[in-house]
Each structure stands twice: as C-alpha cells, then as structure tokens.
C-alpha cells in the first residue's frame, strides 16, 4: 500500500497495489507459444520460393523511348525528385529535344504519379520486383528503363 498526496497535503489517496499471481502470466506465455507452434510459417525461402504479390502490385518503372515526347511532366510531378531528364542522342521524330527520364530507384517511392501524368503512356509500371543493385548503382538510364532487369544485368 502506498499514499499519494498533492503538494499542499490536503488530499490523501490510498493506492492499493494489485495482487499478482505469477502462475497466470506463465500460463498465458505458454499458451501463446503453443498457439503459434502449430501454425503455418509465414516466411518463405527466397529466392527458391516467391512471396505472393497482389495482382495490382506494380514496382518496376519501364520506359518506351519511342513513345516518349520529352515533355518533362514526369520530372515535374515526382515528389522525391527521383526523375531527372537527361539528353540521349536518338532519332525520335516525336522527341525533338532528345530528353528522356533517368530514375533514381534509391529515392523512388513508386507513387505512380509519373505513370498517371504521362500523356503518351511512355512510362508505365510492371510487376517486376527483383531489382537488386548496389547503393552506387540506383540510377537507371533511359536505355536501362527500356529493358527488363535480367537484360540490364547482362
């Protein structure tokens, strides 16, 4: 039992501490352990097993350089400034300035704003998930955005 009083000492409250039964806590812990012991594990052995990804899940940005008109809307709408327009010499009659997006996947949050604002649908996201790279190699050039990840690694 303890006593609590305010600074003036006018109010006195008696506090009763709860009675504790140590056996109940141990039984609750054992119940939790046994409950999870017989459940199916949620971990997967990657890369042998692939984790389930929903059908609407999109991750990898692709670019069709033939459809890109170099309007820079994707760069302007990117909230993290992950897209930067660079000059790539290419004979594209639709893209007179030869500006194409370069994407930094290190800062990209895959918000899909670039996909939604592209007037020619040159930028789109796909289900490709495995994009492992080193920290110095997160920048994807327009040429790399046009290829699948397995083609880029070759």
Comparing 63 with 15, the larger pLDDT belongs to 63
Q: What is the pLDDT of residues 47-91, one digit of tens each?
A: 888 878 888 888 889 999 999 999 999 999 999 999 999 999 988
Residue 117, C-beta contacts closer than 8 angstroms, at least 6 positions apart: 73, 74, 77
Residue 3: pLDDT over 60: no
Residue 69: predicted pLDDT: 95
Cα–Cα distance for residue pair 49/45, rounded to 1 Å: 5
**Domain range list for the chain:** 60-153
What would the two tokens of residue 150 be? Answer: 């397995």
Residue 130: predicted pLDDT: 77
Give the domain 60-153 fold.
Answer: Alpha-Beta Plaits (3.30.70)
Cα–Cα distance for residue pair 1/15, rounded to 1 Å: 6
Cα–Cα distance for residue pair 83/85, rounded to 1 Å: 7
Q: What is the pLDDT of residues 80-102, one digit of tens each?
A: 999 999 999 988 899 999 999 99
- Nearest residue to 140 (alpha-carbon basis) of 100, 105, 99, 98: 105
Burial class of residue 18 in the structure, from the number of CB atoms within 10 Å of its CB (0-12 exposed, 13-18 middle, 19+ buried): exposed
Cα–Cα distance for residue pair 110/58, rounded to 1 Å: 8
User: Binning pLDDT at 50, 70 and 90, where does residue 5 land?
Assistant: low
Q: What is the pLDDT of residues 97-154, one digit of tens each?
A: 999 999 999 899 999 999 999 999 999 998 887 777 777 788 999 999 998 877 877 6
pTM of the model: 0.67
The answer to whether residues 123 and 111 touch, using CB atoms and an 8 Å cutoff, is no
Residue 3 pairs in a beta bridge with 14
Cα–Cα distance for residue pair 147/64, rounded to 1 Å: 9
Residue 133: predicted pLDDT: 75
């Amino acid at each position: 039992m303890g006593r609590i009083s305010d600074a003036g000492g006018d109010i006195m409250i008696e506090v009763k501490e709860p009675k504790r039964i140590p056996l109940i806590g141990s039984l609750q812990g054992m119940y939790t352990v046994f409950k999870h012991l017989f459940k199916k594990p949620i971990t997967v052995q990657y890369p042998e097993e692939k984790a389930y990804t929903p059908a609407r899940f999109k991750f990898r940005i692709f670019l069709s350089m033939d459809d890109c008109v170099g309007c820079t809307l994707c760069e302007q709408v990117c909230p993290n400034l992950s897209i930067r327009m660079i000059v790539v010499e290419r004979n594209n009659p639709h893209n007179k300035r030869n500006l194409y997006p370069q994407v930094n996947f290190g800062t990209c949050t895959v918000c899909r704003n670039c996909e939604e604002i592209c007037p020619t649908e040159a930028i789109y996201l796909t289900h490709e998930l495995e994009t492992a790279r080193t920290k110095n190699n997160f920048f994807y050039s327009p040429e790399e955005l046009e290829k699948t990840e397995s083609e880029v690694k070759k």
